[in-house]
Structure 1
Amino acid sequence: MLPEQVAPDAPVANVLEDGALPVDSASLDDAAKAATVAATARLYGEPLLRMPNDLYIPPDALEIFLDAFEGPLDLLLYLIRKQNFNILDIPMAQVTLQYLVYVEQIRKSNLELAAEYLLMAAMLIEIKSRMLLPKRQDELIEDAGDPRAELVRRLLEYEQIKLAAVRLGTLPQEGRDFQRPSLHVEQSLTPTLPQVDPHDLQRAWLDVIRRAKLTQHHRIGRQELSVREHMSAILRTLQSQRFVEFGELFAGQESVPIVVVHFVALLELAKETLVEITQAEPFAPIYVRLAYSPA
């Protein structure tokens, strides 16, 4: 409406500078919502009210295929069980006709998928043809049996495998039917040292023997050695130090017999849980300390 056509009693505030009357914002929102609902699609977030004239949709842009059967045997078994046919006496004519109808539907949509089904259709037609041939009465020719025997065998085996797969599918599966519980266990703040491997103790002992042989004296004599005395000496050594390296316990020993008795004394102390033999990690030095006894 132009300014000169406005009624004289109309307020001036209702007329815009360009000569158009103002529009209520609520009506604009309603119109936008109505346009959005009536839109055919949305392009870059904007509603598309009508289809473009130059829009091209390829024939195979949207294809929906419901794969109801897992193969030719599955389809054939479905046709037989659906009509309650005796699987040991299959009416080949009816089953073949129904089978070909389904194959024709597959061939129109997907020729590659229909190839496997066409092979089974050819087998069904061959079996039906062999059944229509007259039987020869020549006694020298052995009876070939029922042409459907091989097909029946394959169908029965497939049905057994299919039922077994269904039973396996009903079993509870982790992640689908149940979850394994998990419990977080906090480790103690007290460091736990690994146990000494017997082979590491053996290597340390052989190293002590090697060093003892280097300082041995060739003297012939009889020497009485007490394991208890050496046990007391080891305990006195450990009382003054927190950790003692394994080789340092044998420092000052003069001969192999003394080293042997000293080692036996150490083993006796470990057996009686008076000392602890520890090692921080494999191949690390071995340390000996007094056993911890709670008050």
Structure 2
Amino acid sequence: MNPSPSGATALARLYGEPLFELPPDLYIPPEALAVFLEAFEGPLDLLLYLIRKQHFNILDIPMAQVTRQYLSYVEQVRAHNFELAGDYLLMAALLIEIKSRLLLPPQRSSPEAEAQDPRAELVRRLLEYEQIKQAAQKIDQLPQLGRDFWLAQATAPVVGPPALPSISPSELAQAWSRLLQRAHLVQHHRIDGPRLSVRAFMSQMLRQLQRRRFAEFGELLQPEHGLAALIVSFIALLELAREGLIELTQASAYAPIYVRLGPATGLEAPDNSAHTP
């Protein structure tokens, strides 16, 4: 196959010159045209091309003339690509067989029966192939997405408040572990005192948050009051978060954790920018 300067592949040769586009209405004699079989979809496509180009009646195919032209086209590529010409040679053998049967006296199963035309099966296959090919061409002419038209797409920028990163349980556990270390450092001795109430610590935390917008996680738990108070205050913090009375926020990954009132309280914390994380 000879490529054109633009990269297209030659379909045939006309008097030795490469032909990159078949003329729609020009009849080219077989001796002047060397067809590359890659331009056809198969032997039926080549046979139908020969019949339609020369305006033969497909119901009365001149087998001798069509067979000669068919063989001349196949012979040009058989020496160079025998595997490609295999299916075409099988069709050539069928054409020769049909021509031979036409030369023999017709055989009838009974004196009243009509002799069967040897070309009937080939004509049926050609007509079916032509119908399928025309249907495929009509489908190909339909507008196709990505070839004939494109879907209009537009995206609008989403403007909204920046979403704060969520706090994972592991980060909360690490913050709690650091507070435990601080509590052990400041603990010098243990004094048994009254029992600590989780509800009391919950109420105390809510009162502290009503006076400010945010409170730092460690500042709200107050580890300097001892290990027992720290544990009870942490349980109170988790209970408030579970009931939706407080929210835990973080400005960015690995940043300090802050606590603020949740929507379930129905209270609005004062807008104190000095406590904003």
Larger Rg: 1
- State the TM-score, normalizing by the size of structure 1: 0.47
